[in-house]
Chain A
Amino acid sequence: MAAGSDSEEEEDLVSYGAALQPLQEGERIKKPVPLQEQTVKDAKGRYQRFHGAFTGGFSAGYFNTVGTKEGWTPSAFVSSRQKRADRTILGPEDFMDEEDLSEFGIAPKDITTTDDFASKTKDRIKEKARQIAGVVAAIPGTTAFDDLIGPSKITVGVELLRKMGWKEGQGIGPRVKRKPCRQKPDPTVKIYGCALPPGLSEGSEEEEDEYQPENVTFAPKDVMPVDLTPKENVHGLGYKGLDPSQALFGVPGREHLNLFTGGSEETSNLLGDLRHSKGRKLGITGQAFGVGALEEEDDDIYATDTLSKYDTVLKDEEPGDGLYGWTAPKQYKSKKRPEREFKYIGKILDGFSLASKSSIPIKIYPPPHLPRNYRPVHYFRPVIAAGKENSRLQKALEESSGQLGSAAAQQSRHALDAAQRRELLGETGLKGPAPSVLEYLSEKDRERLKEVKQASEQQMKAKPVAQQSQTRFQPAPPEDASPKWQMLLGGQLANAGSSDFKPFARNPEKQKRYENFVKSLKQGEKDALERFFDPKMTEWERGREQEEFVRAAAFYRSSSSTLSSRFTRAKYEDDVDKVEVPRDQENDIDDKETAVKMKMFGKLTRDKFEWHPDKLLCRRFNVRDPYPDSSIVGLPKVKRDKYSVFNFLTVPEPTTSATQATNKQIQESNSLNKPKKPSRWDMSDKEKEKKDSISEFISLARSKADVQQQPPVPAPEKCATGPSETLPTEVTNDGKDQEEESKRPPMDLFKAIFVSSSDEKSSSSEEESDEEQQPTTSVTESEATKQVDKPDSSSSSVRESVAAAADPGASSLSTSKQELDAAEEFGPKLPPALSSGRFCKLLDRKEKHRKTREKHKAKKEHKRKKEKKKKHKKQKNKGKHKNKKSEKDSSSDTTESSDSSDMDTTGLSPKELLRR
């Protein structure tokens, strides 16, 4: 029952809507999609968002950006090298979305007729519709305003033509009767060239057209008339020069200028081209000018002629005018014919015709008549110096030339010299003065000139001497030469420092006067001379001095500044003449040697320099950089003049060059067994130093006793040892030395000796150098004696070694030989290689070096000879030699004793060290 009732109930119930889907087991109830998530998608399934670039369009990029989800990707760069031509110009469409380009977007892409192509009929329909709309609209007549405002596309002329029955596509003109195909040209267009005979043309026409209704007329063909202006100039195509007649109103000059433009003029007029119509135009036209304010049209001002505008092929297709490219002016056809006969009798080439008008004869202008007094030499305009008497003239000139006031400077433009021009231009001057010709005129000449003048003046005014002394050096009259040199010098002495150039250093008073003179000259004082002259001086002296001063100043200038003006200064301060020299040099080897000889090691033999280790080296040694801020590596260098004397003075070590080193070694090995003596080389070096005044400074460290040279060496030792018996010998030695100083033979003797010897032997260069040095000054003279003195003591050893060398079995031979070897090898030699091959090697060496040894021997002997010569000249050498020997013995004794004493005193410190 229940079931039955149920079914009945179901049947009874009226159900609305669709039934819900029956819920399945375990299925979750779907949540309704919230409103904000119910989105609209476009046809392609993209979300349509309510924003956009142009129309509020939808899918403008990614979330209102121009990019995509992946990010903004610019269009791939394409090199414009390959496709330079198609440079795409982006329009607004390129930035639009698809929707914008669709049918209902702002830029629909479907094809529509544009206004240009819209027919009038359509317009009419539209207009009608608009009128209806205007009538229907709430406010009637509102559309009338649109008509008022809206621009009319059709010009009045066209409108008029239409009214006259003209239709688009037709030509303008009266209707033609004859032929539809071979239309008569525009009546306004003249037919040029030879007219066809009427019969012929008629006949041909008749033949061509079979049927011609009489009453049918045709509209003329719409053609562009040909401008038949011949090109009669050498200008470019289409160029139109200035027409001055056009600029002025009503000047009837056109016809004769433009003979052949009549036809074209008419056509242009007809076509509404009013450009050339008379009187209409104001101002000057032409391509020389741009568009003026008075000109109406501004079309085609920058027109570029392209080849496409021209026909490249001659065609038959201009039957309208029947000219077939024949462009002869119309005047030929009738007028000129009679003229031709008497003008030119002969054949005329096909396609040519006689000129209608004889060419205008070239007008020959007669040369101007030369005035009688004409002379073919150009005179420059007179330069008017600024002066009282000239001012008026100048003014007049200025006025006549139309230059007022400010032209004064310009007027004297030619009077300016380089310096003034430079000043005006604001340029910096040359370092030196601009060299002038006068500079090279010798001062003497100038002076002579002046002297002559002055002399003549003096003769003229015979005045008392007292007055003369006053007036003689008065500022000379302007034509005098003295201001000239004053100017010259004064200008150029500007950079001549008075302090650095002292021509009269010997006479301080004179130098002072000279300096004053120069200074006042610089300041431009003319009476510089007589103010600073010594009043006690005679006139002649003054004149001389003045001359001297002037000459000195000129010399200084010419040596320093004229040269500098000749050369351009380097842009950058270059150090061509500078060399990097270690700031500190191990110097004073002589003092050190004496110290070594005395075994006084320590301060005397030690040089201490600032030395910058490399940063990396410090790091590698795990040492803190002692100079963390400095960028120097090694010894700090200073820049010195390349050729400075100081460079050579501070490098007095004789071992700088290889040859010197070897020589020194020879000497060292010669004197190996005893304390070193300064060799000849050192001496010669010393001599070189002595010659310079700077070395005096160096030798200042050595005491005055240095002149005697010998005593200070043994003196301290003797003092140290203190035996009383050695003292007298020393004293006697001193006395001997002084005696020797006093007894020294005169200079001439030396000269005689050495000059002769140099004549004899010019082989060894060192000798020459010695001899060159000999006869210089008294200082070197004393040095020479010294030099002789010193090697004397060592010469004994030399002789010994030589004597030993004479004995082949002696060991000293081998040593000397080895010394020679060592000398050749630059330093201590490596020991001989093998025991077996040693001797033969030695023998080899013997053989090899015999020559060299002999050479050396020769040298030695040569030296000895020389020394002997010296000895010959000095009588007391032998005695002195003996004395030396004894002294040497004593000194050797003392050295030994001093050795022991040294050991005693200094031996303590290592002991202490050892105890640590």
Chain B
Amino acid sequence: MAFPRPRPARPELPRQRVRTLQCGQGAVRAARFNADGNYCLTCGSDKTLKLWNPHKGTALRTYQGHGYEVLDAAGSFDNSQLCSGSADKTVALWDVTTGQVVRKYRGHAGKVNCVQFNEEATVIVSGSIDSTVRCWDCRSRRPDPVQLLDEAKDGISGVKLSAYEILSGSVDGRVRRYDLRAGQLYSDYIGSPITSVCFTKDGQCVLVASLDSTLRLLDKDTGELLGEYTGHRSTTYRLDCVLSEQDTHVGCASEDGHVYFWDLVEGSLVLSLPVGTGVVQSLAFHPRLPCVLTATQGQVTLWREETFRPEGDPD
């Protein structure tokens, strides 16, 4: 106790392009790590969902069954199931090994922009352009959602879950946090249409990306603005924002083909990764490592920190 804690090693940022996956499934709408970060999912505009080992660059499986382009996907905590939301207005629950659709949830009136599993993969929460968030039960065979969160006045662009919260960002410029434990709904007005929302790892803050090319870090409890990050361009597209594995940095994809990283505390632009010429469509940060997946123009790139040596690392 008397000793001060050893200063943690300075967190690194992924700066090195390690591997590029040519997905071959049209535009990659989303690239997502699984729960432990060893695999990734890519959502293609050719109605397929692909499972990869991005570290080795191997495609593991292709999941077909959606009727239109897949817009978001997520893996369960035990890697046994996947869920995906599609522009065909359905949410699908997949079995990883068989590649079959276990269940399909119909009920959204529009494209399903985002899907998330809860911690135990018992509930899928999906946000749609129809301005609703729906909570689907994975356990029962109920066709209708467990609960419908229709407070948003415009499409839902991003949904995130914590152990007891549902965070949704809507194009109506509000971030809504449904606290199941407290039975409260907190609605924070941002003003600009929100493209992506994110919990920090410690669950105390909320990162919000909006179409006014600004990232905002809000205190979860009070809704106060903790930080604002600008410099990228996000005016049109639904682009992802991320937090680094240790909450030290804030990242966001940009329409100018870069991925920008800011220091969370100082708010200064630390890094801009030149990913490609087109819009960086999706961005995913590894849950434990300084490792980033970027998706642009039908290909997914894995980025690691500079000290990373792909030969030496078995990962």
Contact = CB atoms under 8 A, between A and B. Distances in A.
B185 A818 contact: no
Interface residues of A, number: 71
B183 A827 contact: no
A621 B147 contact: no
Interface stretch (B55-63, B75-83, B150-158): B150-158
Interface in A643-681: 653, 655-656, 661, 665, 668-669, 672, 676
A605 B193 CA distance: 15
Contact of B227 (A623, A665, A907): A907
B12 interface: no
A574 B106 CA distance: 33
Contacts of A914: 202, 246-248, 264-265
Interface in B28-72: 29, 45, 71
B142 to A, nearest CB: 9
A913 interface: yes
Interface in B140-181: 146-151, 153-155, 157, 163-164, 171-174, 178-181
A752 interface: no
B183 A626 contact: yes
B278 A831 contact: yes
Interface stretch (A403-411, A592-600, A712-720, A775-783): A592-600
Nearest to A665: B193
B147 A633 contact: yes
Interface in A788-833: 815, 818-819, 821-822, 826-833
Contacts of B237: 828-831
Given A613-B180, A618-B180, A909-B226, A668 B211 contact: yes
B86 interface: no
B306 interface: no
Interface stretch (B95-103, B118-126, B284-292): B118-126
B171 A827 contact: yes
B212 interface: yes
B273 interface: no
Contacts of A829: 236-238
Interface of A: 582, 586, 589, 592-593, 595-596, 599-603, 605-614, 616-618, 620-624, 626-627, 633-635, 653, 655-656, 661, 665, 668-669, 672, 676, 815, 818-819, 821-822, 826-835, 838, 899, 902-903, 906-907, 909-911, 913-914, 916
Most chain A CB within 10 A, of B27, B118, B185, is at B185
B279 interface: yes
A602 B222 contact: yes
19 contacts: A607-B187, A610-B183, A612-B183, A613-B147, A614-B135, A616-B137, A616-B146, A621-B123, A623-B164, A634-B151, A661-B153, A830-B27, A831-B281, A833-B26, A833-B45, A835-B278, A838-B297, A903-B267, A910-B227
Contact of B236 (A595, A614, A626, A828): A828
A831 B122 CA distance: 31
Contacts of A600: 225
A258 B187 CA distance: 106
Interface of B is mostly: loop
Counting from the closest, the 7 A-B pairs by CB-CB distance are A626-B183, A611-B185, A601-B225, A828-B238, A606-B223, A833-B27, A602-B224
Contacts of B308: none
A371 to B, nearest CB: 87
Contacts of A911: 265
Given A834-B297, A834-B298, A607 B247 contact: no
Nearest to B195: A828
Given A608-B186, A617-B180, A676 B192 contact: yes
Interface size, B (range): 35 or more
B226 A910 contact: yes
B153 A828 contact: no
A825 to B, nearest CB: 9
B304 to A, nearest CB: 22
A655 B153 contact: yes
Nearest to B44: A833
Contacts of B71: 830
A620 B183 contact: no
B148 A634 contact: yes
Given A609-B187, A613-B147, A617-B123, A819 B235 contact: yes
Contacts of A605: 188-190, 223
Nearest to A899: B228
Nearest to A599: B225
A826 B236 CA distance: 11
B187 A601 contact: no
B242 interface: no
A717 to B, nearest CB: 14
A612 B146 CA distance: 12
B154 A601 contact: no
Contacts of B148: 634
A596 to B, nearest CB: 4
A661 B170 CA distance: 12
Contacts of B298: 833-835
A425 B256 CA distance: 87
B225 A815 contact: no
Contacts of B227: 903, 906-907, 910
A102 to B, nearest CB: 70
Given A827-B193, A829-B237, A913 B266 contact: no
Nearest to B191: A596
